[in-house]
A and B are shown apart, each in its own frame.
Chain A
Amino acid sequence: QKEVEQDPGPLSVPEGAIVSLNCTYSNSAFQYFMWYRQYSRKGPELLMYTYSSGNKEDGRFTAQVDKSSKYISLFIRDSQPSDSATYLCAMRGGGNKLTFGTGTQLKVEL
């Protein structure tokens, strides 16, 4: 079983839709969770950082963590064509390394 599972997509939605992106993980030691956005051939850009179960909101983005189910989500409201990118979940346990999911490719259509 992979440590972090993420549906690679592609996911195509119309502009204005609510997008739901998800990751599951198997390692109970993961305590810190991040979502990154990556445009083609660019570096990952940090969107959200959470460390407790529950929801965290920042503008159009909401990160949700359910440690009991080992499941994290990122919701994007009022999606825009500029949100088209690959979204990476990443997580850390007690050490410093981040373990990434494979990324979900999102396309927001006009």
Chain B
Amino acid sequence: EPEVTQTPSHQVTQMGQEVILRCVPISNHLYFYWYRQILGQKVEFLVSFYNNEISEKSEIFDDQFSVERPDGSNFTLKIRSTKLEDSAMYFCASSLQGSNTEAFFGQGTRLTVV
């Protein structure tokens, strides 16, 4: 069964460092997303990406964040200068089309900023 895969499963980084979280969406999907979940809180939308550009982003997704699809299979989230409050689970998701189709999530990357 096709699935969204994310690497690494756990990343520890020092405050102020840059991190790149990687995702391989389901191969025929066209829409890609990043969500985050701070421990004990709800899953929050960060950004959606379609046709090589951001289609929607939340207030959380400020200038410290960027996304890229560097090749035909990978989708990355970069946090330029990490803060302690960036510690969270980051989930990548993909959907075949936009709002009217299901979104499938990866297993997440747990980011710990120390």
A residues bordering B, Cβ < 8 Å? 31-32, 34, 36, 41-46, 49, 51, 88, 90, 92-103
Contacting residues, chain A, for B93 (C-beta < 8 A): 98
> Complex Cα distance A98/B108, Å?
16
Question: Do most interface residues of chain A lie in helix, strand or loop, or is the interface mixed?
Answer: loop
Contacting residues, chain A, for B100 (C-beta < 8 A): 31-32, 51
> Complex Cα distance A42/B91, Å?
9
Task: Tell me if B105 and A44 are in contact (CB < 8 A).
Answer: yes
| A32-B100, A96-B48, A99-B45 given; A44·B91 CB < 8 A | yes
| A44-B91, A94-B99 given; A100·B108 CB < 8 A | no
Please count how many residues in chain B sit with their CB below 8 Å of the partner chain's CB atoms.
30
> Complex Cα distance A102/B33, Å?
19
Task: Tell me if A103 and B42 are in contact (CB < 8 A).
Answer: yes
> Complex Cα distance A98/B53, Å?
18
A-B pairs with beta carbons under 8 A, tally:
67
A50: min CB distance to chain B, Å: 10
B102 at the interface (CB under 8 A from A): yes
Contacting residues, chain A, for B55 (C-beta < 8 A): 96
A89: min CB distance to chain B, Å: 10
A66: min CB distance to chain B, Å: 20
> Complex Cα distance A36/B48, Å?
19
Please name the residue on chain A nearest to B102 by beta carbon.
Answer: A49
Query: Which residues of chain B from 4 to 46 have a CB within 8 Å of any chain A CB?
Result: 4, 6, 31, 33, 35, 41-45
Contacting residues, chain A, for B58 (C-beta < 8 A): 97
Contacting residues, chain A, for B113 (C-beta < 8 A): none
B52: min CB distance to chain A, Å: 15
